[in-house]
Structure 1
Amino acid sequence: MDMCPLCNGLEMRVIQCPNCQTIMEDRGKITDYLDDYSAYMDIDIMKLFDGTTNSLENHRCIHYFYCRGCQHEDTRAIKE
């Protein structure tokens, strides 16, 4: 069984904002933001809608990162 180390609190990623060099916040899976109930849906099914080709097959969890300094938004594929 594959699991995301960020979603499960096993790791932290320090991502620096490319604009202002502030450390960006991990705001969780990008699919959690699709609608009010998406955070409660099956993770593997939601990977079909995360905007990244083959994230399910490649065991990647797409995380949303946000910079409080300049409001820059970014996504990163995290290896499960």
Structure 2
Amino acid sequence: MKACALCNGIVSYKGMCAKCGDTTVDQGRYHDYYDEYSPYMDIQEIQLADGIPNSSCTDTCLHLFTCKRCGEEEGRSIDMVEF
């Protein structure tokens, strides 16, 4: 079984904002912001409607990161790990 290492607290990720260079903060799965039901959907199911070609065929989880300083938002793919 594969699962997102970031969603499950196995790893932490600190990124840099492309706009201002400050630290970004993980806001969770990008898909969780689609509507009120999306946080409860399976990752593989919601990837079928995310608009990213072949995302359901990859072992990644798309996360939303926000800059602490300027508020810039960016999606980043996080690799899933085998359990």
Q: Is the 8 A contact 1:31 1:49 kept in 2?
A: no
The residue type paired with residue 77 of structure 2 is A
1:69 and 2:69 aligned: yes
More strand by share: 2
* Pairs aligned (count): 80
Aligned to 1:57: 57
Q: Deviations over 1:13-54 (max 9, x none)?
A: 110112222110101111100001110112210111223222
The unaligned stretches of length 5 or more in structure 2 are none
* 2:76 partner SS: strand
Return 5+ residue gaps in structure 1 as ranges: none
Tell me how far 1:10 sits from its aligned partner.
0.3
State whether structure 2 residue 18 is matched by structure 1 residue 18: yes
1:74 & 1:51 partners in 2: Cα distance? Answer: 16
Instruction: Answer yes or no: is the 8 Å Cα contact 1:50–1:62 preserved in 2.
Output: no
Runs of at least 4 residues off by over 6 Å: none
Q: TM-score, normalised by structure 2?
A: 0.88
Task: Return the alpha-carbon distance in structure 2 between the equivalents of residues 63 and 49 of structure 1.
Answer: 15
Alpha-carbon RMSD across the aligned residues, in angstroms, is 1.1
**Secondary structure in structure 1 of the residue aligned to 2:4:** coil
Q: Which has the higher contact order (CA 8 A, sep 6+)?
A: 2
Counterpart contact for 2:43–2:61, Cα < 8 Å: no
One-letter code of the match for 2:79? K
Indicate the percent of aligned positions where both proteins have the same amino acid. Answer: 40
Letter in 2 for 1:8: N
